[in-house]
Structure 1
């Protein structure tokens, strides 16, 4: 069950980064008028970098552990597939946020 809980936390982080990137895309003219938004943008970008790096390592480790079990747990497989798909969206969103950071 521990692996499933970590998949859930990872899922929440990935969805947060994707949703933040989408709201930034649609509201960027309004957001940059706000004084602290650039600090928030930098913080979420750093969070996305660490999430992408650690998720890559964890997805490899988790997939090996999930696939090689004698007794398979279907929820873990579902979380693994969803997290793999969201991982690639998060990588794209991190690259988009990288282009939005002002020097």
Structure 2
């Protein structure tokens, strides 16, 4: 029998944030992220990502990973990394 932790304040140690679907490549096989040069950055503004990062840090998250597409192509990428570091999070880029 599997028991799920249903406590309202359960800790999330690692958070992976897909901040964009844009990628500079046009891979011949199917992309797992369905990313590409004409894809967008989604509907969340940089300020929305800031709030999510702050909430994750407040819940005890220790590491945030930025993914995409190619996360470096997101216009707010440097600001998001700096914000996560200021919030005391470890940062990974995938």
Query: Normalized against structure 1, the TM-score is what?
Result: 0.34
Determine which structure has greater relative contact order: mean sequence separation of CA pairs < 8 Å that are 6+ residues apart, divided by chain length: 1
More strand by share: 2
More helix by share: 1
Higher Rg of the two aligned structures: 1
Query: Normalized against structure 2, the TM-score is what?
Result: 0.36
